[in-house]
Structure 1
Amino acid sequence: MRRAFLSVVLLVSAFLVVLALPATAAPYCGLVWGSLDETAGDVWPSPIVDVRTGQHACYDRLVVDVAGDVGGYHVSYGQYLVNPGSGEATDLRGGMVLQITVNNPAHDENYNLTYNPANPLELRNVAGYRTFRQVVSAGTYEGYTTIGLGVRARLPFRVFVLDGPGTSSRLVVDVAHRW
Protein backbone atom coordinates (compact mmCIF):
# COMPACT_ATOMS: atom_id res chain seq x y z
CA MET A 1 0.00 0.00 0.00
CA ARG A 2 2.80 2.34 0.93
CA ARG A 3 4.62 1.51 -2.32
CA ALA A 4 1.47 2.25 -4.38
CA PHE A 5 1.00 5.58 -2.60
CA LEU A 6 4.64 6.52 -3.22
CA SER A 7 4.27 5.60 -6.92
CA VAL A 8 1.18 7.81 -7.25
CA VAL A 9 2.95 10.73 -5.51
CA LEU A 10 5.97 10.39 -7.81
CA LEU A 11 3.78 10.17 -10.89
CA VAL A 12 1.76 13.26 -9.91
CA SER A 13 4.98 15.14 -9.07
CA ALA A 14 6.52 14.28 -12.44
CA PHE A 15 3.33 15.41 -14.19
CA LEU A 16 3.38 18.75 -12.34
CA VAL A 17 7.06 19.29 -13.19
CA VAL A 18 6.35 18.69 -16.89
CA LEU A 19 3.48 21.20 -16.78
CA ALA A 20 5.73 23.79 -15.11
CA LEU A 21 8.47 23.56 -17.76
CA PRO A 22 8.37 26.29 -20.41
CA ALA A 23 7.09 25.18 -23.80
CA THR A 24 9.69 25.41 -26.54
CA ALA A 25 8.51 26.62 -29.90
CA ALA A 26 8.94 24.22 -32.78
CA PRO A 27 10.82 25.56 -35.80
CA TYR A 28 8.55 27.24 -38.36
CA CYS A 29 7.39 24.55 -40.80
CA GLY A 30 10.18 22.35 -39.49
CA LEU A 31 12.79 24.68 -41.04
CA VAL A 32 16.05 24.94 -39.14
CA TRP A 33 17.84 27.40 -41.41
CA GLY A 34 19.85 30.42 -40.28
CA SER A 35 20.59 33.89 -41.63
CA LEU A 36 24.40 33.89 -41.72
CA ASP A 37 26.48 34.05 -44.93
CA GLU A 38 26.57 30.97 -47.17
CA THR A 39 29.57 30.38 -49.48
CA ALA A 40 30.69 27.49 -51.69
CA GLY A 41 32.62 26.70 -54.86
CA ASP A 42 34.84 28.48 -57.34
CA VAL A 43 34.42 30.50 -60.56
CA TRP A 44 33.09 28.44 -63.46
CA PRO A 45 32.65 29.44 -67.13
CA SER A 46 29.15 27.96 -67.60
CA PRO A 47 26.80 30.89 -68.26
CA ILE A 48 23.60 31.87 -66.45
CA VAL A 49 20.56 31.57 -68.72
CA ASP A 50 17.59 32.53 -66.51
CA VAL A 51 16.39 33.66 -63.08
CA ARG A 52 13.03 32.42 -61.79
CA THR A 53 10.99 32.73 -58.60
CA GLY A 54 8.27 30.72 -56.92
CA GLN A 55 6.10 30.60 -53.83
CA HIS A 56 5.81 27.68 -51.42
CA ALA A 57 3.81 27.17 -48.24
CA CYS A 58 6.70 28.03 -45.90
CA TYR A 59 9.17 29.98 -48.07
CA ASP A 60 9.72 31.93 -51.28
CA ARG A 61 12.22 30.54 -53.80
CA LEU A 62 14.69 32.11 -56.25
CA VAL A 63 16.28 29.85 -58.89
CA VAL A 64 19.27 30.76 -61.08
CA ASP A 65 19.48 28.48 -64.14
CA VAL A 66 22.98 27.74 -65.47
CA ALA A 67 23.87 26.07 -68.79
CA GLY A 68 26.38 23.72 -67.17
CA ASP A 69 27.76 23.57 -63.64
CA VAL A 70 27.12 26.18 -60.97
CA GLY A 71 30.61 27.37 -60.09
CA GLY A 72 29.70 28.44 -56.58
CA TYR A 73 28.07 31.28 -54.72
CA HIS A 74 28.17 33.74 -51.86
CA VAL A 75 24.87 34.79 -50.27
CA SER A 76 24.69 37.36 -47.46
CA TYR A 77 22.40 39.95 -45.90
CA GLY A 78 22.97 43.69 -46.08
CA GLN A 79 21.12 46.99 -46.01
CA TYR A 80 21.54 47.54 -49.76
CA LEU A 81 22.89 45.88 -52.90
CA VAL A 82 26.58 46.55 -53.56
CA ASN A 83 27.15 46.76 -57.31
CA PRO A 84 30.19 44.82 -58.55
CA GLY A 85 33.02 46.86 -59.99
CA SER A 86 31.74 50.30 -58.95
CA GLY A 87 30.92 49.48 -55.33
CA GLU A 88 27.87 51.75 -55.55
CA ALA A 89 24.94 50.99 -53.30
CA THR A 90 21.44 50.33 -54.66
CA ASP A 91 18.39 50.40 -52.39
CA LEU A 92 15.82 47.68 -52.91
CA ARG A 93 12.27 47.36 -51.66
CA GLY A 94 11.98 45.54 -48.33
CA GLY A 95 13.63 45.72 -44.94
CA MET A 96 16.80 43.82 -45.95
CA VAL A 97 18.72 42.83 -49.06
CA LEU A 98 20.02 39.34 -49.74
CA GLN A 99 23.04 39.78 -52.03
CA ILE A 100 23.53 36.69 -54.20
CA THR A 101 26.82 36.39 -56.04
CA VAL A 102 26.87 33.47 -58.47
CA ASN A 103 30.32 32.36 -59.61
CA ASN A 104 29.15 32.18 -63.24
CA PRO A 105 28.93 34.91 -65.90
CA ALA A 106 25.77 35.98 -67.75
CA HIS A 107 27.60 35.68 -71.08
CA ASP A 108 29.36 32.99 -73.12
CA GLU A 109 33.10 32.71 -73.84
CA ASN A 110 32.69 35.25 -76.70
CA TYR A 111 30.96 37.72 -74.34
CA ASN A 112 27.57 37.24 -76.01
CA LEU A 113 24.88 37.71 -73.36
CA THR A 114 23.18 34.49 -72.29
CA TYR A 115 20.91 36.23 -69.79
CA ASN A 116 19.70 39.69 -70.79
CA PRO A 117 16.63 40.69 -68.76
CA ALA A 118 14.25 43.28 -70.20
CA ASN A 119 14.36 45.22 -66.93
CA PRO A 120 17.36 44.54 -64.64
CA LEU A 121 15.58 46.35 -61.78
CA GLU A 122 12.59 43.97 -61.93
CA LEU A 123 13.83 40.53 -62.97
CA ARG A 124 10.59 38.93 -61.81
CA ASN A 125 7.24 40.22 -60.60
CA VAL A 126 7.16 39.24 -56.92
CA ALA A 127 4.09 41.27 -55.98
CA GLY A 128 2.01 39.18 -53.60
CA TYR A 129 4.94 37.11 -52.35
CA ARG A 130 5.07 36.75 -48.56
CA THR A 131 8.84 37.38 -48.25
CA PHE A 132 10.25 38.67 -51.56
CA ARG A 133 9.87 42.38 -52.41
CA GLN A 134 12.18 42.90 -55.43
CA VAL A 135 14.61 40.93 -57.62
CA VAL A 136 17.39 42.95 -59.29
CA SER A 137 20.33 42.14 -61.54
CA ALA A 138 23.53 44.06 -60.83
CA GLY A 139 25.21 42.40 -63.81
CA THR A 140 28.35 40.37 -64.35
CA TYR A 141 31.81 41.56 -63.36
CA GLU A 142 34.96 39.47 -63.84
CA GLY A 143 32.99 36.25 -64.20
CA TYR A 144 30.74 36.78 -61.17
CA THR A 145 27.05 37.66 -61.53
CA THR A 146 25.31 39.59 -58.75
CA ILE A 147 21.60 39.45 -57.99
CA GLY A 148 19.89 41.50 -55.31
CA LEU A 149 16.87 40.10 -53.53
CA GLY A 150 14.85 42.59 -51.50
CA VAL A 151 13.09 40.78 -48.65
CA ARG A 152 10.72 42.10 -45.99
CA ALA A 153 13.11 41.33 -43.07
CA ARG A 154 16.21 39.35 -42.13
CA LEU A 155 14.76 35.85 -42.28
CA PRO A 156 16.24 32.35 -42.35
CA PHE A 157 17.43 31.11 -45.73
CA ARG A 158 19.14 28.14 -47.34
CA VAL A 159 21.20 27.79 -50.51
CA PHE A 160 21.84 24.65 -52.53
CA VAL A 161 22.64 23.44 -56.05
CA LEU A 162 20.54 21.01 -58.09
CA ASP A 163 21.92 19.14 -61.11
CA GLY A 164 19.91 18.73 -64.30
CA PRO A 165 18.00 18.52 -66.37
CA GLY A 166 20.67 17.25 -68.76
CA THR A 167 23.99 19.03 -68.33
CA SER A 168 22.48 22.17 -66.77
CA SER A 169 22.22 22.97 -63.07
CA ARG A 170 20.42 25.40 -60.79
CA LEU A 171 21.34 27.52 -57.80
CA VAL A 172 18.39 27.63 -55.39
CA VAL A 173 17.86 30.22 -52.65
CA ASP A 174 14.89 29.68 -50.31
CA VAL A 175 13.88 32.38 -47.81
CA ALA A 176 11.47 31.42 -45.02
CA HIS A 177 8.28 33.43 -44.48
CA ARG A 178 9.12 33.81 -40.78
CA TRP A 179 11.39 32.52 -38.01
Structure 2
Amino acid sequence: MRRWGTAAAALALTAAGLAATAGTADAASGPTGRASSAAACSTAWGSGTKSATGASAAPLKNIRTGRSACYDRMVFDLGGASGKAGYHVGYVDQFQQDGSGEVIPVKGGAILEVFVSASSYDPQTGKQTYAGKAGKPLPGVHLAGYETFRDAEFGASFEGQTQVGLGTRAKLPFRVFQSGNRLVVDVAHHR
Protein backbone atom coordinates (compact mmCIF):
# COMPACT_ATOMS: atom_id res chain seq x y z
CA MET A 1 0.00 0.00 0.00
CA ARG A 2 2.75 2.34 0.92
CA ARG A 3 4.51 1.82 -2.44
CA TRP A 4 1.33 2.75 -4.33
CA GLY A 5 1.03 5.94 -2.30
CA THR A 6 4.64 6.89 -3.09
CA ALA A 7 4.13 6.06 -6.78
CA ALA A 8 0.92 8.11 -6.89
CA ALA A 9 2.69 11.06 -5.25
CA ALA A 10 5.55 10.81 -7.77
CA LEU A 11 3.06 10.74 -10.66
CA ALA A 12 1.26 13.76 -9.23
CA LEU A 13 4.55 15.69 -8.96
CA THR A 14 5.51 14.72 -12.52
CA ALA A 15 2.11 15.83 -13.81
CA ALA A 16 2.44 19.12 -11.94
CA GLY A 17 5.90 19.64 -13.47
CA LEU A 18 4.56 19.00 -16.96
CA ALA A 19 1.67 21.39 -16.34
CA ALA A 20 4.12 24.09 -15.17
CA THR A 21 6.25 23.54 -18.29
CA ALA A 22 3.17 23.78 -20.50
CA GLY A 23 2.23 27.02 -18.72
CA THR A 24 5.68 28.44 -19.45
CA ALA A 25 5.34 27.53 -23.13
CA ASP A 26 1.92 29.17 -23.25
CA ALA A 27 3.33 32.28 -21.62
CA ALA A 28 5.98 32.46 -24.37
CA SER A 29 3.28 32.35 -27.02
CA GLY A 30 1.82 35.55 -28.34
CA PRO A 31 -1.87 36.38 -28.62
CA THR A 32 -2.00 34.44 -31.88
CA GLY A 33 -0.86 31.24 -30.15
CA ARG A 34 2.46 31.25 -32.04
CA ALA A 35 5.67 30.86 -30.08
CA SER A 36 7.36 34.18 -29.38
CA SER A 37 9.96 35.08 -31.97
CA ALA A 38 11.87 37.29 -29.51
CA ALA A 39 14.41 34.53 -28.93
CA ALA A 40 15.07 34.27 -32.69
CA CYS A 41 15.37 38.03 -33.29
CA SER A 42 18.75 39.75 -33.22
CA THR A 43 19.05 42.69 -30.84
CA ALA A 44 22.77 43.24 -31.43
CA TRP A 45 22.11 46.57 -33.17
CA GLY A 46 22.39 48.63 -29.99
CA SER A 47 20.55 51.81 -29.13
CA GLY A 48 23.41 54.28 -29.60
CA THR A 49 23.40 57.06 -32.19
CA LYS A 50 24.13 56.02 -35.76
CA SER A 51 25.24 58.34 -38.56
CA ALA A 52 26.83 58.35 -41.99
CA THR A 53 28.03 61.11 -44.25
CA GLY A 54 26.65 61.52 -47.71
CA ALA A 55 24.15 63.64 -49.52
CA SER A 56 21.14 62.77 -51.59
CA ALA A 57 20.93 64.61 -54.88
CA ALA A 58 17.23 63.72 -55.06
CA PRO A 59 14.59 65.10 -52.70
CA LEU A 60 12.52 63.02 -50.30
CA LYS A 61 9.47 61.53 -52.04
CA ASN A 62 7.72 59.53 -49.31
CA ILE A 63 7.95 58.11 -45.80
CA ARG A 64 6.22 54.82 -45.06
CA THR A 65 6.24 52.18 -42.36
CA GLY A 66 5.92 48.41 -42.08
CA ARG A 67 6.02 45.59 -39.54
CA SER A 68 7.87 42.29 -39.25
CA ALA A 69 8.12 39.57 -36.62
CA CYS A 70 11.22 41.19 -35.08
CA TYR A 71 11.00 44.94 -35.70
CA ASP A 72 8.95 47.88 -36.93
CA ARG A 73 10.35 49.63 -40.02
CA MET A 74 10.35 53.20 -41.36
CA VAL A 75 11.41 53.75 -44.98
CA PHE A 76 12.46 57.06 -46.51
CA ASP A 77 12.02 57.00 -50.32
CA LEU A 78 14.68 59.25 -51.82
CA GLY A 79 13.39 59.57 -55.36
CA GLY A 80 16.09 58.79 -57.90
CA ALA A 81 19.02 58.95 -55.48
CA SER A 82 21.93 56.81 -56.56
CA GLY A 83 24.67 57.83 -54.14
CA LYS A 84 25.05 57.28 -50.43
CA ALA A 85 22.52 59.19 -48.35
CA GLY A 86 23.65 60.87 -45.17
CA TYR A 87 21.76 60.37 -41.92
CA HIS A 88 21.93 60.93 -38.18
CA VAL A 89 19.62 58.82 -35.99
CA GLY A 90 19.56 58.75 -32.20
CA TYR A 91 17.40 58.88 -29.09
CA VAL A 92 16.67 62.33 -27.64
CA ASP A 93 14.95 63.56 -24.47
CA GLN A 94 12.70 65.93 -26.43
CA PHE A 95 12.07 66.52 -30.10
CA GLN A 96 13.02 70.05 -31.16
CA GLN A 97 12.29 71.37 -34.63
CA ASP A 98 15.48 71.92 -36.62
CA GLY A 99 15.99 75.62 -37.29
CA SER A 100 13.51 77.07 -34.77
CA GLY A 101 14.22 74.87 -31.73
CA GLU A 102 10.48 74.64 -31.03
CA VAL A 103 9.57 71.55 -29.00
CA ILE A 104 7.25 69.17 -30.86
CA PRO A 105 5.43 66.63 -28.64
CA VAL A 106 5.99 62.99 -29.66
CA LYS A 107 4.06 60.16 -27.95
CA GLY A 108 5.85 57.07 -26.66
CA GLY A 109 8.30 55.92 -24.01
CA ALA A 110 11.28 57.16 -26.06
CA ILE A 111 11.89 59.47 -29.03
CA LEU A 112 14.11 58.49 -31.93
CA GLU A 113 15.17 61.59 -33.90
CA VAL A 114 15.89 60.90 -37.57
CA PHE A 115 17.75 63.29 -39.87
CA VAL A 116 18.01 62.31 -43.55
CA SER A 117 20.18 64.24 -46.02
CA ALA A 118 17.30 64.89 -48.43
CA SER A 119 14.98 67.87 -48.46
CA SER A 120 11.20 67.58 -48.77
CA TYR A 121 11.22 70.01 -51.69
CA ASP A 122 13.00 70.24 -55.02
CA PRO A 123 15.96 72.58 -54.48
CA GLN A 124 15.83 73.69 -58.16
CA THR A 125 12.15 74.69 -58.25
CA GLY A 126 11.20 75.00 -54.57
CA LYS A 127 8.23 72.69 -55.24
CA GLN A 128 7.28 70.45 -52.32
CA THR A 129 8.05 66.74 -52.97
CA TYR A 130 6.87 65.37 -49.62
CA ALA A 131 3.74 66.74 -47.92
CA GLY A 132 5.08 66.82 -44.35
CA LYS A 133 4.08 69.81 -42.22
CA ALA A 134 6.16 70.96 -39.25
CA GLY A 135 4.79 69.68 -35.94
CA LYS A 136 2.19 67.43 -37.60
CA PRO A 137 1.92 63.62 -37.92
CA LEU A 138 3.52 62.14 -41.04
CA PRO A 139 0.96 62.06 -43.86
CA GLY A 140 -0.29 58.56 -44.70
CA VAL A 141 1.51 56.91 -41.75
CA HIS A 142 -0.88 55.03 -39.44
CA LEU A 143 0.76 53.21 -36.52
CA ALA A 144 -2.21 51.46 -34.88
CA GLY A 145 -1.28 47.86 -34.11
CA TYR A 146 2.50 48.37 -34.29
CA GLU A 147 4.47 46.68 -31.52
CA THR A 148 7.22 49.30 -31.23
CA PHE A 149 6.16 52.49 -33.05
CA ARG A 150 3.79 54.86 -31.22
CA ASP A 151 3.98 58.20 -33.07
CA ALA A 152 5.69 59.84 -36.08
CA GLU A 153 5.92 63.64 -36.30
CA PHE A 154 7.43 65.78 -39.04
CA GLY A 155 10.03 68.18 -37.68
CA ALA A 156 11.35 70.20 -40.59
CA SER A 157 13.08 70.22 -43.92
CA PHE A 158 15.88 72.66 -43.36
CA GLU A 159 19.20 73.26 -45.15
CA GLY A 160 18.98 70.11 -47.28
CA GLN A 161 17.89 67.66 -44.61
CA THR A 162 14.58 66.35 -43.33
CA GLN A 163 13.87 65.70 -39.65
CA VAL A 164 11.36 63.23 -38.20
CA GLY A 165 10.50 62.40 -34.57
CA LEU A 166 9.65 58.72 -34.13
CA GLY A 167 7.95 57.80 -30.86
CA THR A 168 8.76 54.27 -29.72
CA ARG A 169 7.45 52.08 -26.90
CA ALA A 170 10.85 52.22 -25.14
CA LYS A 171 14.51 52.91 -25.89
CA LEU A 172 15.07 49.81 -28.03
CA PRO A 173 17.88 48.65 -30.34
CA PHE A 174 17.72 49.98 -33.91
CA ARG A 175 19.63 49.83 -37.16
CA VAL A 176 19.89 52.15 -40.17
CA PHE A 177 20.89 51.14 -43.69
CA GLN A 178 20.46 52.18 -47.30
CA SER A 179 18.95 49.91 -49.92
CA GLY A 180 19.00 51.45 -53.38
CA ASN A 181 17.17 54.77 -53.19
CA ARG A 182 15.67 54.02 -49.76
CA LEU A 183 16.97 54.76 -46.29
CA VAL A 184 15.63 52.21 -43.77
CA VAL A 185 15.29 52.52 -39.99
CA ASP A 186 14.35 49.29 -38.14
CA VAL A 187 13.52 49.39 -34.41
CA ALA A 188 13.52 46.04 -32.59
CA HIS A 189 10.49 44.82 -30.68
CA HIS A 190 12.68 43.65 -27.76
CA ARG A 191 16.09 44.31 -26.24
TM-score, length-normalised on structure 1? 0.77
Contact 1:45 1:143 in 2 (8 A): no
Hey, what's the Cα distance between the residues in 2 that align with 1:119 and 1:39?
Answer: 23
Alpha-carbon RMSD? 1.8
What letter matches 1:110 in structure 2?
Answer: T
Q: 1:115 aligns with which of 130, 135, 145?
A: 130
Which 5+ residue runs of structure 1 have no aligned equivalent? Answer: 1-25, 164-168
Superposition deviation, residue 74 in structure 1:
0.2
Instruction: Say how many residue pairs are matched.
Output: 149
User: Is 1:93 aligned to 2:107, yes or no?
Assistant: yes
Q: Does 1:64 align with 2:76?
A: yes
2:148 to 125, 131, 140: 131
Secondary structure (helix, strand or coil) at the match of 1:147 reads strand
Give, as a single letter, the amino acid of the residue that structure 1 aligns with 2:126.
Y
Per-residue CA deviations over 1:86-108 (Å, capped at 9, x if unaligned) read: 11221211011100000110111
Partner of 1:18: none
Greater per-residue strand proportion: 1
Unaligned segments of structure 2, at least 5 residues? 1-37
Q: 1:130 to 1:144 in 2, by over 3 A?
A: same
After superposing the two structures, state which structure 1 stretch, 135-144 or 154-163, moved more.
135-144
* 1:100–1:125 CA distance, 2 compared to 1 (3 A): same
Residue 182 (structure 2) pairs with residue 170 (structure 1): yes
- The answer to whether the 8 A contact 1:62-1:172 is kept is yes
List 4+ stretches of structure 1 deviating above 6 A: none
TM-score by length of 2: 0.73
**Residue number in structure 2 paired with 1:3:** none
